[in-house]
Structure 1
């Protein structure tokens, strides 16, 4: 029986070097307080790298959520944002927020009253849209009456 490890390849070397560099960078950053002029270029580069991905993100409102494998009505409406990498399509950010948590974040009663009023107007618009769709569907299903 051969107890020899598999041969060390250039891929192994690349992975090891990358691991050591990341470890060294994390260690150096944890021991160093960077000044803003040192952080700003990194932040600018990060924004440039992911900005287009975020602009192409899928943002949606939901009223259903998964309970196991089954979709059930959610406790309340929530907002989701999903961001995929433009090159390989892999999802790298997925966030959800209850609408009430967003509205309550500032803890400003007047602002919350304004949000409630705006949400009520939105609900009215959604109901109007649904009503028009239902009427159109009813008309499409009603057979024409024969003329005398």
Structure 2
């Protein structure tokens, strides 16, 4: 195995999963901040559109925090759950007063058991992948050094 291939494989098996994990942990931190310090308001559903790719629907909504302009956003929901939402129906929102763009629908977020499970899976993937790649590289380096009769 060549050194450039080693670097590419380590990047794919270690760096990328750790960057994804960092992003997920940032989302968890945001979830905790919104739950601890967030203000509550009611938004309204603007429209519900079916996704043609899967079994979900996209729900577009808007809410108006007193601190600033209207915030428009959307989320994906199962078609069955989205069918209960109609344009104009209320939706509960929690948001950070200093940054209303950081908001969550009520009872939604990245929970502790999910964080633990995902963290363990990513760390297992990164460590097994990294150890496997480095082990393969060292083995191929030893074979290259061994003189052939």
Relative to the length of structure 1, the TM-score reads 0.29
Relative to the length of structure 2, the TM-score reads 0.29
Considering Cα pairs closer than 8 Å and 6+ residues apart, tell me whether 1 or 2 has the greater RCO: 2
More strand by share: 2
More helix by share: 1
